[in-house]
Copies of this chain bind each other. A is one copy, B any other.
Amino acid sequence: MPDQTRPPGQRVTIYDVALEADVSPSTVSRAFSRPSRVNSETAERIRQVAGRLGYRTNPLARALTTSRTQMIALVIADITNPVYAEIVRGAQEVAADGEYTTVLIDAQESDRLERAAVERTMSTVDGIVLASSRMSDSAIRMVAKQRPVVVLNRALADVPCVVTDDPRGVRRAAEHLGELGHDHITYVAGPQASWPNGVRWRSLLEAGMELEIKVRQIGPFSPTMAGGERAAQELCARPATAVLAFNDQMAIGIIRGLSRMGVNVPGDVSVVGFDNILAADIVTPRLTTVAAPLYAEGSAATRHLLTMIEGAPGHTGRPMVLPVRLVVRDSTAARNPSPGRARPSWVRQRPVPGPAAHLP
* Contact present for B9 and A146 (CB under 8 Å): yes
Given A64-B61, A282-B256, also A79-B69 (CB < 8 A): no
Residue of B69, B86, B103, B278 near A101 (CB, 8 A) is B103
Chain B, Cβ-Cβ closest to A277: B279
| Distance to closest chain B CB from A285 (angstroms) | 10
Does A56 interact with chain B (Cβ within 8 Å)? yes
Query: In the assembly, how many copies of this chain are there?
Result: 2
Query: Chain A interface: which size bin?
Result: 35 or more
CB-defined contacts of A96 to chain B, threshold 8 Å: 117
* Contact present for B106 and A103 (CB under 8 Å): no
| Distance to closest chain B CB from A253 (angstroms) | 9
* Contact present for B56 and A310 (CB under 8 Å): no
Does A162 interact with chain B (Cβ within 8 Å)? no
CB-defined contacts of A63 to chain B, threshold 8 Å: 60
CB-defined contacts of A145 to chain B, threshold 8 Å: 8
CB-defined contacts of A147 to chain B, threshold 8 Å: 7, 9
* Contact present for B89 and A80 (CB under 8 Å): yes
Does A121 interact with chain B (Cβ within 8 Å)? yes
Does A92 interact with chain B (Cβ within 8 Å)? yes
Compute how far the CA of A61 lies from the CA of B61 in the bound complex, rounded to whole angstroms.
Answer: 8
Given A60-B64, A101-B103, also A80-B85 (CB < 8 A): yes
Given A3-B311, A80-B89, also A60-B124 (CB < 8 A): yes
Annotate A42-64 by CB proximity to B: 1 below 8 A, 0 otherwise.
00000000000000101111011
Q: Which of A142-177 contact B (CB under 8 A)?
A: 145-147
| Distance to closest chain B CB from A122 (angstroms) | 7
CB-defined contacts of A278 to chain B, threshold 8 Å: 225, 279
Chain B, Cβ-Cβ closest to A56: B123
| Distance to closest chain B CB from A62 (angstroms) | 10
Does A205 interact with chain B (Cβ within 8 Å)? no
Does A359 interact with chain B (Cβ within 8 Å)? no
**Interface CB pairs A-B, < 8 A, 5:** A3-B311, A92-B106, A96-B117, A102-B104, A283-B284
Q: A82-B82, A96-B117, A279-B282 are in contact. List 14 more A-B contacts (CB 8 A).
A: A1-B311, A3-B311, A4-B313, A7-B67, A59-B124, A60-B60, A64-B64, A80-B82, A80-B86, A80-B89, A101-B120, A101-B124, A103-B104, A225-B278
